[in-house]
């Protein structure tokens, strides 16, 4: 037999008491009495008269705690400023997000949108640059050869319908990276040159995650003019129309601010 070692699990475990009826426990109570009938007859009789469904078995179940996410003091201080029950208009939301940003670099401002259902998507063109350039490529024979060798220096891939049979052979390379063109997001088009220009000027397809009805859209940088950021956000809200139920604005490593949709 190995030696036993005491382990302190109080920091990462909870003890939960589970109450249940136990018929066997009542039987133990009646059979484990002292042998002397003169002194225990009354106790035995009362035990036998006790309904089994009123005897509770107490067990302690150790449940492992989930590690809590630690926030910085600056984050917590910023969150205390935000009224979490209030929805701010676009201008007030942007001003507050700028105030809450505490990082030393030019933070990215992101809109997190809760949609009605998984699979919701829409096309939108933001009126101002978000500060992030998008590399758009159009499929041709030279690009197909590069993709086959693992060279993919682009963020969005456009294709004319005529190239799709050839491109299908590379689906196992492009698919896992989310780069495979498909008609749902408009990346298969008869006019890829026009679509490329739209995307480079701020056009995008906003769609939810695969398993949850949430979409994430970069609307700009902290350094941008407030008016430009507001116009980007309003364009996003108008494009989403009735598909969005909540929009939260936040900068990198900063708390979120709810934005009015109407």
In a domain, 147, yes or no: yes
Count up the domains in the chain and report the number: 3
Span 206-234, pLDDT tens digits: 888 888 999 999 999 999 999 999 999 99
In a domain, 7, yes or no: no
Cβ atoms of 32 and 47 closer than 8 Å: no
Q: The domain spanning residue 107 has which CATH number? A: 3.30.190.20
Q: Are residues 145 and 189 in the same domain?
A: yes
> In the listed set 201, 217, 242, which residue is the last one of a domain according to the structure?
201
In a domain, 3, yes or no: no
Domain that holds residue 185: 135-201
pLDDT value of residue 165: 92
Structure token digits, residue 93: 């939301």
pLDDT value of residue 142: 92
CA 191 centroid distance within chain:
35
Report d(CA 6, CA 248) in Å as an integer: 47
In a domain, 183, yes or no: yes
Q: Are residues 219 and 255 in the same domain?
A: yes
Q: Which residues of the chain have pLDDT under 70?
A: 1-69, 71-80
Cβ atoms of 67 and 213 closer than 8 Å: no
Which value, in Å, is the radius of gyration of the alpha carbons in the chain? 31
> In the listed set 45, 64, 83, which residue is the last one of a domain according to the structure?
64
Q: Are residues 196 and 139 in the same domain?
A: yes
pLDDT value of residue 139: 92
In a domain, 20, yes or no: yes
Q: Are residues 239 and 226 in the same domain?
A: yes
In a domain, 6, yes or no: no
Q: Are residues 142 and 178 in the same domain?
A: yes
Q: Are residues 257 and 220 in the same domain?
A: yes
Q: Are residues 177 and 75 in the same domain?
A: no
pLDDT value of residue 247: 93
In a domain, 144, yes or no: yes
In a domain, 4, yes or no: no
pLDDT value of residue 255: 85
Q: How far is CA 233 from CA 110, 112, 138, 179, 206, in A?
A: 10, 11, 29, 26, 13
């Amino acid at each position: 037999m190995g030696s036993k070692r005491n382990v302190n699990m109080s920091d990462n475990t909870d003890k939960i008491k589970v109450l249940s009826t136990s018929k066997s426990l009542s039987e133990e109570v009646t059979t484990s009495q002292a042998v002397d009938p003169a002194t225990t007859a009354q106790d035995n009789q009362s035990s036998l008269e006790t309904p089994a469904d009123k005897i509770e078995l107490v067990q302690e179940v150790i449940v492992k705690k989930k590690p809590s996410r630690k926030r910085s003091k600056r984050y917590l201080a910023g969150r205390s400023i935000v009224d979490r029950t209030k929805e701010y208009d676009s201008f007030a939301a942007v001003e507050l997000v700028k105030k809450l940003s505490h990082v030393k670099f030019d933070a990215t401002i992101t809109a997190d949108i809760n949609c009605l259902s998984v699979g919701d998507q829409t096309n939108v063109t933001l009126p101002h640059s978000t500060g992030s350039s998008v590399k758009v490529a159009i499929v041709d024979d030279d690009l197909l050869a590069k993709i086959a060798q693992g060279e993919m220096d682009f963020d969005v891939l456009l294709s004319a319908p005529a190239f799709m049979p050839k491109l299908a052979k590379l689906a196992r390379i492009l698919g896992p990276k989310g780069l495979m063109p498909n008609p749902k997001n408009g990346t298969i088009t008869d006019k890829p040159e026009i679509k490329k220009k739209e995307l480079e000027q701020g056009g995008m397809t906003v769609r939810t995650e695969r398993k949850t009805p949430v979409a994430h859209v970069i609307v700009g940088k902290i350094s941008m003019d407030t008016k430009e950021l507001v116009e980007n956000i309003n364009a996003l809200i108008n494009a989403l129309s009735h598909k969005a139920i909540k929009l939260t604005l936040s900068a990198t490593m900063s708390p979120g601010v709810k934005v009015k949709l109407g």
